[in-house]
Each structure stands twice: as C-alpha cells, then as structure tokens.
Structure 1
Amino acid sequence: MADNDSPDPEDLEALLRQLFGGNGTAPIDPEQIQRLTGMSIDPTMLQQMMSSLQGAFSGAAGGPDGINWETAQRQALHIANQSDLGISTGQRTDIDQAFALANLWLTDATTIAELTQPARTLTRGQWVEQTMPVWQDLAEPVATSITDALLGVLDEQTPEDMKGMIAGAGRLMRSLGGSLFATQLGQVIGRLSREIVAGGDVGIPLLPAGEAAILPQNFADFGSGLEVADDQLALYLGTRELAHARLFRHAKWLRLHVISQVTEYARGVRVDPEALEDLASSFDPSEPEKLRAALESGALLPRQSEEQVAALSRLENLLATIEGWVEVVTADATARLPEAIRISEAVRRRRAVGGPAEKALGALVGLELRPRRLREAAAMWRAVTDAVGIAARDSLWDYPDFMPTAEDIDDPSALIARLQAGARGEEPVRDEMDDALAKLLAGDDTTLIEGEDGTITSRAEGASADEAADAGDGDEEPPTGPRPV
C-alpha cells in the first residue's frame, strides 16, 4: 500500500486475479466486486486494470461462448494419465483374441453385419481424446447457461456507479466462467476414464460410428471382485461392445438421433438464480472448492421442467430400447459361456447404479444416462425374437419409423402382430382413423369428428354437425359403425 493510502496497483491486481481466477480456473465472486466500492480506488485505474486483465485472459476463450474445451481435455488427460500404465502386449493379445471369437459368435445371434474395421484396445488417455468431441456437444448448452447466469448475477449485484467501469469485462467474465465449467467437466471425464470398461458403457455413442474398444486397465479392475475367469469376462464384454458398435454402424441415423435427444434435454437446463445468489453471498474466494462442489453436486441446477421431464422420458426409452437389444443379442451369442448370466447381472447392476464419476457427470450437466427400463426393453426384444426370429427383429433398426415405441416396451403384442402380418405378406391392419387420414391426404373433403364415447366419424365439408349426427339416427343400423380408436 502506498503512503497516501491509495491502493498499490500490484496489490489490487493480485486481488482481482484472486477474484477472477488468474489461472482461468478459479471461481467468480460477483459480490466481492461490490465490496470494492468501500475502497479508495481510482476509477480510471480500475478501468484500465480491467482492460489489461481482459486482454491477458482473452486468450483463454475457446470460442464465442468463452468455453475453453482445451482446458477440459487437459484436465481430463492429466487425471487419466496419472495411473495409466499403458497396455501390455499380453493384454492386447488377449483382448484381440476375445474380439475375434466374439465376432464369430455374433454371426449366429444377429443379421447385422460385422464392423469394417477391427475393434481396438485403448488407454485411458486415448479414450479421453477419442470421446471429448461428443462430451463437448453434450455439455455446451449447460456450460453456456451457467456462464450466462454468472453474468446476470454480476450485473445485478454491481453498483450502478461501477457498471460503466466493468462493462468491457463481459467477455472476461464469460471466459473465466466457461473455463471454470470446462475444468470441472475435464476433472469428471478424467475420473470417468478410470471407470469405463468399453466404448458403449454409458449407453451413448461416444466413439465414432462403427468403432469398438475396450480399456484393458479398467477391464482388470471391473473383474477383480467377480471371481470370473478373465477369458470369459473378456469374451462377454467384447461381444457386448461389438454388438453395440454393430448396431450404430448399421442404423446410421441412430447416432444423431441419440445425441440430438441428449442435447434437446441439455438445452432446457437453466441455472437456479436464487441458488447462485445464495452461493455468491457466502462464497469465500480463498475456498474455491465450495463453488466446484456446488457445480458437481448439481446444486445450481433447478428441478426439471415439464418439457425436460418429457424429453428425459423419451431419452430413457430410447436408451433402454438400444441396450435391451444389445443385452438380448449378447446373451444369445454368449450362451455357451458358463458364467454369462453372472456377468450379465454384474453389467446390468453397474449400468443401473453407475460409478462416482458418472454420477458427478450427471449432476454437472443435469442428466444421468440411465436406461431405467432396461429389463422391460430386454423382455420385449426377447418376446419379439421368440415370435418372429432374428431377421425380422433386426429389421426394426432399418428405419427410424420402425423402432419400437414406449407402448411396445409395455406390451409387445401389437408389435409382434405387425411383424407376423408382414411376414405373411398381409397388409397392416387399418382402423377408421387410418382410413379418414388417407382420405384427407387424398384431398377428400371430409372432416374428422371425435364423439364423446371416443369414436371417430367423418362428414363432408360444409355439412353441419347436426346433419352429421342425424345421419346416424336412422331406424336401420348401418352395416359398419364407428369403433373406439
């Protein structure tokens, strides 16, 4: 501090670096800016310093939204590589042999063709590098929402006489807020790299379409408490991973469909402003772990909206449909493995519960990727397989419109009936709604009317509702009448 009690520029810069996070990862405390009004600060000096800091940190911005995804990848790789001992020749050989045999077994369990490139073994660091683009797509809407909320709280809590001085620091705030989120995401993904066993473990297509991989080091950790021979475990997990990769390669539309469902949900995430203000009011810059813990716990994300609940339900049904098929195909392909059922239950429990890092990811982005209806979906696929065979079952993945619905998971009888009718060369069963819609599409001047009893009728354009009702009041019962849809 200078003799005239004016703030020393170096001391003030140190304070601002602590406040804004000079390393680009520390949290932001909007309220501390307000406390600066009690100091004898030269406004011109503060404005110049803010401009200087903005220039110093502008390089941290990873894009127009100020989110530095390179920071996330560096953080993830730092954690992933800490105990990554690489892949030994023996591990690589064992996994490669398991993949080769699994490919042969899958030939009898599904009509979906095998991959065009061999499955791989990945280190934890390689898995991070391969999957980071997908994590970025999934997390970007949430990161943008958090940085927008930080800017909003900053603007609300900054005194009017200081808003002009910090107006040029908006990009800096966004950059630092985005960097904080990116750092937290990187830490979670790094920890996740130590839990993931195979490419399809979290249900979404993280690897490029048509690629399958196993992480040998995590494979060893997963099997340590099962008391199952490594060769059986490798065969089962290799078969499951190949089935998952085959499906996404065959149904080329499926990858985009899953990712769009996830991002649709993520775009609806909004930060709870009250929770953020409460956190800011009690936050101590010397304890940045408090904000990091709030991000990872999901404390800043409010309860799901109705739209998000609906989006989540659609996503869960989609993931369950995918993993149910994978489970049935894997079970058929590995039926000769003595411990197949035991391993299957272990995998299912693992997907239902998830590891610590996967839970942290769910809190951070407001979404847990759980196929909650996996057992019901697997039962549906088993019933379909038993009723119509492998080829007809797998044909449901040829086009998006063929996919089973949530209603089919509840009761697959109608789906089975349609497949059986198609196998006999019969036209699909049509109801009155189908016929009326066909007339509308053909240009017929009719209007659909739904009665109080749920029946569907149609009348010519221009006819009154009373005339349409009178038409059905004759003494003679018409040969065919409307039926409930």
Structure 2
Amino acid sequence: MSDQHQPGESPQSWEEMLRSMLGDGADEVMAEMRERGIDPTALGGAPDPVMMQYALAQVQKMLSAEGTGPVNADVAHDVARQVAVSEGDPSLTGRQAKDATDALGVAELWLDAVTDLPPAGGTRRAWNRSEWVEATLPVWNELAAPVASSVSEALATVLRDQLPDGVDDGEAVPGMPAGVLHGLGGSIDPAQMMKRLGSAVFGMQVGQAAGTLSREVFGATDVGLPLLDSPDTVLLPTNVAEFADGLDAPLEEVRQFLAVREAAHARLFTHVPWLRSHLLSIVERYARGITIDLDALEAQVRDIDLADSDALRSALSGGVFGLQNTDEQKAVLLNLETTLALVEGWVDEVSALAALPHLPHAIPLREMIRRRRAAGGPAEQTFSTLVGLELRPRRSRDAATLFAIVARAQGPEGRDAVWDHPDLLPGTEDLDDPAGYLVRREAAENEHADVDAALKEIFGEEEGQDPTGSDPEKPAGPETPTNPEKPADPEK
C-alpha cells in the first residue's frame, strides 16, 4: 500500500497525512513526535484533535511568515543540509585539512609566476559538504529570489481562480486535509497561504539544488560565480577524492590542479573589483525579466494534491517559465553567458600555464575539467532549475583561446588587462573569432582616442591652451579689457 494518497482522497492515517503535507520534511516531523513519545505509525483511524493541532503547528512553522520571503530560507537550509549528508558527509581529518590547505598555498606560488594579479589574501580552508552549504546558501537564495517571487505571485493568481468560494472562511480545499486552513490561522487568505506555500516549495528547490551541488563541487568557485563574500579559497577533500577515484592521475595531482583553479578564481574575483557585482546583477536582471506562463502553470497544478509538497515542487520545477524572451532579455542572457565564459576561459588558461611545469597530468586534467563543463556541469543544471536559465559552457574554450592569443601578443600584462573595465570586455563576436580580437580592439581604442581628442578640441583643451581660451604664454596687460560693456578697440 502506497504511503501517498491519490489526489482528491482523504488520508487514511496520520503517517499518510504527514507525508502528503510535508513531503521530505515528514520524516523530521515524525522523528520529533517519536521523541515526545508519539508514534504516528501506531495511530489508527482519524487523527484526534490534540494530534491534529500538533501536526498543524508543524505545517504552520513551515509556512509561517517569520523567516520567509520569495524563498523560505529556513526550508532551504534544512533541505540543503539533509541532501548534503544523504550520501555521507564525514568530518575531515587533520591530514585531509592540511593536505588541502597546503595545496592551496602551493597554488599561489605557481600562479605568481604566470599572472600579475596578486593572491586573494583570504584564509585557506578545507570544508565538508555541510560547511559548503552553510557558507554559500545565502547567495543561492539571493539568486533565486526574483524568479521565486514571480512564481509565487503566479501560483496565487492561478489558485485564486481554482479555490471554491468561502474557502477563506476555513472551508475545505480539495486535496487538503480538513482543518488545515483553520490551523494556519482561521480565516487566512488562501492566496496569501499559496504565496507562503510557494515560498516554502521554492525553498525546497533551492535547498535541493545547493545540497546536490555540495556533493559535486571541489571548492567555492566551480559554478563560475562568486559564492562567498570573502576572498577565502576552499577545497572539499571528500569530493576531490571521489573525483580522483578511477582517474589515471594520482590524488595528489588532482588535488593540486583543482587548488590552482580555485586560487585563480579567487584572484580574479578579488582583484577585479567590479566583477562580482557585475555577474550577480546580470543574473538578477535576467531573472526579473522572466515571465511565467500562467496557462502552463494552471495545467500543471490543476489536478495535483495541494497538500502534497513534492507534487507541487515538481509542478514548479520547469515548464512554467515564459519562452518568449524579449530582445532585452536575450541581450542580458548573452551578456551573462559571455561573461561566465570569459571567467572560465581566463581561469582555464592561467591554471594550465601554472600547473604545466609541475604536474605530469596537467593536460589531461585540463581536458577532463573542460569536458565536465561542456557536458552540463553543476552551474548549468542549477541555473536551469532555479531561474530557468540555460548556460553554454562550451564558450569557455573560445575564451581560453582568446586569452592565449592576447598573452602571446602582449604578454601576461595584456591578457590580464582585458579585465580593466566591464565596457572593454570581449563580446560574442570576439569569442566567435578570437584571432581577430586584437585588431578589433585596436580599432576601438583608436576610435575612442579620436573621440577624446575631439572633445578636448571642443572644450578648448588643446595643447598650450587652458579651458578658458586664454594663452598661458601671454600675460594679461593693461590692454586687457576689464569693462565687459566696452570692449577694447582692436585698432588702437
């Protein structure tokens, strides 16, 4: 017999009701009940009023206004921690931590030889999966918030039309156990309740994504976005060891290569001061411009059990984002994809140069990471889930080629100078034709120089002349007119 009741049916036991209402959170609630001496599986028949009140308190806790927003951060945190440890998350040994931090220290020395960007200057850290979740989850919540807000509003709009009249007075909602609305505050506005439920469901999605990422990432920068607000460098020894298992390269080489990439990312995000806010603002602009397909959303939630959080989460996980992006949206998306490709391309090129003299397997390791990204790495999957955003990591190869060309022509200084200003970053045309980038850049710089010269001429800032138009070599004499209403006669 299935633990989940079918849509429209009433739950036949307390355990079934809790699972249908709370989904993944049911086990935690039932565990707490058992600690209080109450076993839900031993309760038969209809729940008694005391037990109903207790369960509703748990649901109210999940849907309460406190700590909620577009993304329920509390739910996201709980789910992320559960997912992170679902396949094991042992505490790190002293040896694991030392090996990781030593590798990060060596990485800085190797990078000093290939780039003028100095070390990030933060603390070198070794984390397990739970620690990674704790440190990065605030950024994931921030990235998902714009879309979560739109989805919650759309969900409330759709369900407002579906809910029967009078439900705001506590009448039954199809698929939801009787008394739930009363337990959530009596005559609570059902649309407001749906917003809270949407916030909780999106919190589950964020938590699921972050928890899954914690089992895949090697450090704090794998996704190409700055997930920390500090210049720390990080390795996750457990994930590094799992990745190295089965490779031809020894663990020590794999760890060191990944440490170089982590340290290179940290240098870039720290010493290109506009880059972090630039990337996050692009993601936010894109997310805020996403439209929700109300027809698709209505079709997906029409027949689901409103008390089944797993079913609702599945309905909101895809297919409701508007596909008809505006021209502005397309431009923002292209800007984001290009910038992420440039970040990955710079790190790819600099890391390879730093590691090649020291690691025999540097070339195959570089290719392994490239293929991992091209196959759809954690960044692509997470963005797709959270904000309906598909990335194209294949562009990182073109970006790496571009940086290599610039370095050969202008040295490491010229390569790193590409990051001097966001307006000077290479565009999609440059990634399409990396070999022609320097020619186009020189032409653009000449054009800017001509514009600057013209502006100086317009404002009288030619060489040897101050902005007022007077000649600095000719001091003012008695003939200089002092009465503006009676100019000096040039014939006298």
Does TM-score exceed 0.5, indicating one fold? yes
* Alpha-carbon offset, residue 255 of structure 1: 0.2
* Alpha-carbon offset, residue 98 of structure 1: 1.6
* Alpha-carbon offset, residue 407 of structure 1: 2.7
TM-score, normalisation: structure 2: 0.72
The residue aligned with 1:206 is: 227
Q: Which stretch of structure 1 is more off in the superposition, 149-158 or 238-247?
A: 149-158
The residue aligned with 2:421 is: 399
The residue aligned with 1:147 is: 152
**CA 1:68 to 1:363, structure 2 compared with 1: closer, same or farther past 3 Å?**
closer
Q: Which runs of 5+ in 1 are unaligned?
A: 1-9, 27-48, 422-426, 445-485
* Alpha-carbon offset, residue 63 of structure 1: 5.3
Q: Which residue identity does 2:264 align to in structure 1?
A: A
Q: Which residue identity does 1:203 align to in structure 2?
A: G
Alpha-carbon distance in structure 2 between the residues aligned to 1:281 and 1:299: 14
Helix, strand or coil for the counterpart of 2:302? helix
2:283 is the alignment partner of 1:262: yes
Alpha-carbon distance in structure 2 between the residues aligned to 1:285 and 1:428: 59
The residue aligned with 1:345 is: 367
The residue aligned with 1:363 is: 385
2:308 is the alignment partner of 1:303: no
Alpha-carbon distance in structure 2 between the residues aligned to 1:170 and 1:24: 24
The residue aligned with 1:136 is: 141
State the Cα deviation string for residues 381-433 of structure 1 (Å, max 9, x = none): 00000000011221222332332233332334565358789xxxxx94238x9
* Alpha-carbon offset, residue 365 of structure 1: 2.2
Q: How does 1:96-111 map to 2 (within 5 A)?
A: 96-111=101-116
State the Cα deviation string for residues 70-122 of structure 1 (Å, max 9, x = none): 11011101221341002112212222222222111101110000121232111
| 8 Å contact kept, 1:60–1:68 | no
Helix, strand or coil for the counterpart of 2:447? coil
Q: How does 1:25-424 map to 2 (within 5 A)?
A: 56=60, 60-62=64-66, 65=69, 67-82=71-86, 83-159=88-164, 168-285=189-306, 288-296=309-317, 298-306=318-326, 307-336=328-357, 337-355=359-377, 359=381, 362-412=384-434, 415-417=437-439
* Alpha-carbon offset, residue 65 of structure 1: 3.7
Helix, strand or coil for the counterpart of 1:87? coil
State the Cα deviation string for residues 96-151 of structure 1 (Å, max 9, x = none): 22222211110111000012123211110111111111101100011111110111
Q: Which runs of 5+ in 2 are unaligned?
A: 1-9, 27-52, 171-186, 461-492
**CA 1:158 to 1:277, structure 2 compared with 1: closer, same or farther past 3 Å?**
same
* Alpha-carbon offset, residue 225 of structure 1: 2.6
Alpha-carbon distance in structure 1 between the residues aligned to 2:401 and 2:224: 18
**CA 1:168 to 1:224, structure 2 compared with 1: closer, same or farther past 3 Å?**
same
Alpha-carbon distance in structure 1 between the residues aligned to 2:188 and 2:457: 57
**CA 1:290 to 1:167, structure 2 compared with 1: closer, same or farther past 3 Å?**
closer
The residue aligned with 1:456 is: none
Aligned-residue RMSD, C-alpha: 3.6
| 8 Å contact kept, 2:129–2:214 | yes
| 8 Å contact kept, 1:106–1:239 | yes
| 8 Å contact kept, 1:392–1:419 | no
* Alpha-carbon offset, residue 188 of structure 1: 2.0
**CA 1:412 to 1:352, structure 2 compared with 1: closer, same or farther past 3 Å?**
closer
State the Cα deviation string for residues 133-186 of structure 1 (Å, max 9, x = none): 110110001111111011101222234565687673433221122111101221
Alpha-carbon distance in structure 2 between the residues aligned to 1:383 and 1:436: 28
Which runs of 4 or more aligned residues in structure 1 lie more than 6 Å from their structure 2 counterparts after TM superposition? 17-20, 22-26, 52-55, 163-167, 418-421
* Alpha-carbon offset, residue 229 of structure 1: 0.8
Q: Which residue identity does 1:387 align to in structure 2?
A: A
**CA 1:437 to 1:284, structure 2 compared with 1: closer, same or farther past 3 Å?**
farther
* Alpha-carbon offset, residue 24 of structure 1: 11
| 8 Å contact kept, 2:21–2:309 | no
Alpha-carbon distance in structure 1 between the residues aligned to 2:401 and 2:379: 29
| 8 Å contact kept, 2:123–2:231 | no
Alpha-carbon distance in structure 2 between the residues aligned to 1:119 and 1:191: 23
Alpha-carbon distance in structure 1 between the residues aligned to 2:89 and 2:145: 28
* Alpha-carbon offset, residue 333 of structure 1: 0.4
Alpha-carbon distance in structure 2 between the residues aligned to 1:371 and 1:344: 14
Alpha-carbon distance in structure 2 between the residues aligned to 1:115 and 1:249: 6
Size of the aligned set, in residue pairs, is: 402
Helix, strand or coil for the counterpart of 1:282? coil
State the Cα deviation string for residues 196-246 of structure 1 (Å, max 9, x = none): 112111111112242211111010111113221111111111111100100
The residue aligned with 2:5 is: none
